[in-house]
Amino acid sequence: MDILLSVLGFLLTIGILVAFHEYGHFWVARRLGVRVLTYSLGFGRAIYSTRRGPESIEYRVGLFPLGGYVRMLDEREGPVDPDERHRAFNRQSLKVRAAIVAAGPAANVILALLFWWLMFMVGTQGVLPKVGEIEGDSRLAEAGLEVGDVIRAVDGEPVADLSDLRLTILNGAIEQRRLPLTVERDDRQREMVLDLRGLDPLGGEIGRQPIDILERVGYEPWRAPAHAEIAEVQPDSPAVAANLAAGDRIVAVEGREYRDPWALIEAIGARAGEPTRLDIESEAGRREVMVTPRATEVDGEMVGRIGVALTARPLDSAAAESMFLVQRAGPIEAMGLAVERSWEMTTLTVSVFHRLLTGEASIANLSGPVAIADYAGKSLLLGLSTFLGFLALVSLSLAILNLLPIPMLDGGHLLLYAIEALKGSPVGAAFEEVFARIGILLLGMLMVVVFYNDIARLMH
């Protein structure tokens, strides 16, 4: 099911974003009098093709879905009827050609705004930025935060949920700043400062998922006290040997009681191969059992596992529910929020690209089609609002990526037009051919890197 959702999410994501990007080129070209020959989603052999309209434009779907193209009448690609030369792309003015090329990224920016607008109207689901356990040497601990604090604002800007907190802290880390925090504790607000100087915001290793910026500053979400209830027992596991069953609640490990299922999992994980006493509660009452956690490799380390799937059963349902937020906005407010989110993500994405190009950030942070498919499938599971936000983010990223001055991308063509504007004439055919070959090489190297990163993460 996960694989099917990933494939479905990937096809939906790429299909929607590429279709709109190419339609930007298509729509502007036709409005400016350039004849369009082909509108294609995907590359390679056509798995579907049809011709429509008085000009018999070919609409096709290629075998390989990683992109698309719009083919226009162009004398550089073959003979053109003299009566049609005025409609050839290469005969157009510099402004017309630049407008057609820029229309693709512009369409993706518009689409991102539309998806964020819809997302804010549908309603965003978030988690209250309430602080859980804090490591003593973390940056949050140095700032003076304590368990139970709620972060209400960062640098004077309100923080509604963890997504807002993550974005503002990531921006602060990229800018290497000291961020003022407004923290609510015991119904009173306090001012603190989170020092992000010297923190690498995009640190990572090839083959591993990048570490979340919140984790890097020592943040863990607050969890309502809960019992660890067994939802499922795996066959031939230590839990079976100990007569554990679905519905049993694990309340203590070696005599120490736990009201945090995640902490309980860590306690059992630290006892790989050691006989361990568990206190169990069930409808029949309370009992003690002995179980020996089986040593299992997780992220390169051996941890103890007893072979059960746990679910958190909150002791206070109201406290647990208070952590989850749903926010909805009207059409006008939602558009303002969409513009704000688009600007925030644009500046963040440009900063990340800059750090990658200057070597300040590791190429381990790059992701490709496999990661997009994975995130697309997960966002589908989380609901319409999450999927709309994911589409918006990828659409905006696609626009920015295409505007980079790299040959074969829209930004590469715009760079050639800028050179043409400065020198007063088009660049030579030989230069343009070499420029294109460089682009193919760079894009090929990029694809190798992102595919390697994706596959290495999956293997890990």
DSSP string, 31-54: HTTPPEEEEEEEEEEEEEEEEETT
Q: Which residues are annotated as catalytic?
A: 22
| Mean pLDDT within 220-237 | 88
Give the pLDDT band of residue 210 (cuts 50, 70, 90).
Answer: low
Residue 206 pLDDT greater than 60, yes or no: no
Higher pLDDT, 208 or 65: 65
pLDDT, tens only, 275-310: 999 999 998 899 999 999 999 887 678 889 999 999
Residue 130 per-residue DSSP state? B
The predicted pLDDT at position 88 comes to: 92
SS3 content of the chain, % helix, strand, coil (to 5): 45, 25, 30
Quote the pLDDT of residue 251. Answer: 92
Average pLDDT on 223-246 reads 90
Nearest Cα to 224, choosing from 126, 322, 136? Answer: 322
- Number of other residues whose CB lies within 10 A of the CB of residue 385: 21
Q: What is the mean pLDDT of residues 318-341?
A: 88
Q: Residue 128: what are its φ and ψ, rounded to 5°?
A: -60, 130
Specify which of 55-69, 109-123, 158-172, 410-424 reaches the highest per-range mean pLDDT. Answer: 109-123
Give the dihedral sign, CA 284/287/292/298.
Answer: positive
Cα–Cα distance for residue pair 122/119, rounded to 1 Å? 5
- Would you state the pLDDT for residue 238? 93
- Nearest one of 99, 107, 90, 89 to 34, comparing CA atoms: 89
* pLDDT tier at 436, thresholds 50, 70, 90: confident
**Positive or negative torsion for Cα 208, 214, 219, 220:** negative
Contact 280, 250 (CB under 8 A): yes
In the block, tokens 């990029």 appear at: 446
Return the H-helix or E-strand segment holding 280.
Answer: strand 276-282
Joined tokens for residue 280: 């169990």
Question: Which residue, among 129, 147, 299, 341, has the nearest Cα to 214 in the 3D structure?
Answer: 129
Per-residue pLDDT tens for 152-168?
999 988 988 888 898 88
Confidence band, pLDDT 50/70/90 cuts, at residue 274: very high
Q: Name the pLDDT band for 442 (thresholds 50, 70, 90).
A: confident
Domains, the chain, ordered by start? 127-221+323-327 (2.30.42.10), 226-317 (2.30.42.10)
| pLDDT over threshold 70, residue 351 | yes
Q: Which pair of structure tokens corresponds to residue 139?
A: 């940056």
Structure-token match 């640190």, residue found = 203
Asked if the model's pLDDT at residue 458 lies above 70, the reply is no
Find the farthest-apart pair of alpha carbons in the chain and give their distance in angstroms, rounded.
Answer: 92
Confidence of residue 104 (pLDDT cuts 50, 70, 90): very high
Tell me how far apart the alpha carbons of residues 161 and 351 are, in angstroms, rounded to a whole number: 23
With bands split at pLDDT 50, 70 and 90, how would you rate the model's confidence at 338?
Answer: very high
The per-residue pLDDT for 233 is 92
Run of H or E residues at 229: strand 226-233
- What pLDDT shows up at residue 352? 79
Distance CA 309, CA 265 (A): 10
pLDDT at 25 over 70: yes
* pLDDT-based confidence at residue 1 (cuts at 50, 70, 90): low
- Judged by average pLDDT, the poorest of 139-143, 383-387, 425-429 is 425-429
**Segment 214-241 mean pLDDT:** 89
Quote the mean pLDDT of the chain.
87
Band (pLDDT 50/70/90 cuts) for residue 149 is very high
Across the range 372-388, mean pLDDT stands at 83
Task: Give, as one character, the DSSP assignment of residue 258.
Answer: -
Q: Provide CB contacts within 8 A for 171, sequence distance 6+.
A: 344, 347, 348, 351
For residue 346, CA distances in Å to 76, 135, 253, 343, 398 come to 36, 33, 48, 5, 11
Q: How many residues does the chain have?
A: 460
For residues 108-117, give the mean pLDDT: 96
User: In this structure, are residues 268 and 304 in contact, taking their beta carbons and an 8 Å threshold?
Assistant: yes
Q: Are 443 and 358 in contact (CB under 8 A)?
A: no
If pLDDT is split at 50, 70 and 90, which confidence band does 364 have? low
pLDDT at 315: 80
Q: What is the pLDDT of residue 430?
A: 81
CA 36 – CA 87 distance, rounded (Å): 9
Q: Other CB atoms closer than 10 Å to residue 89's CB: what's the count?
A: 22
Torsional sign, CA 160, 166, 170, 172 = positive
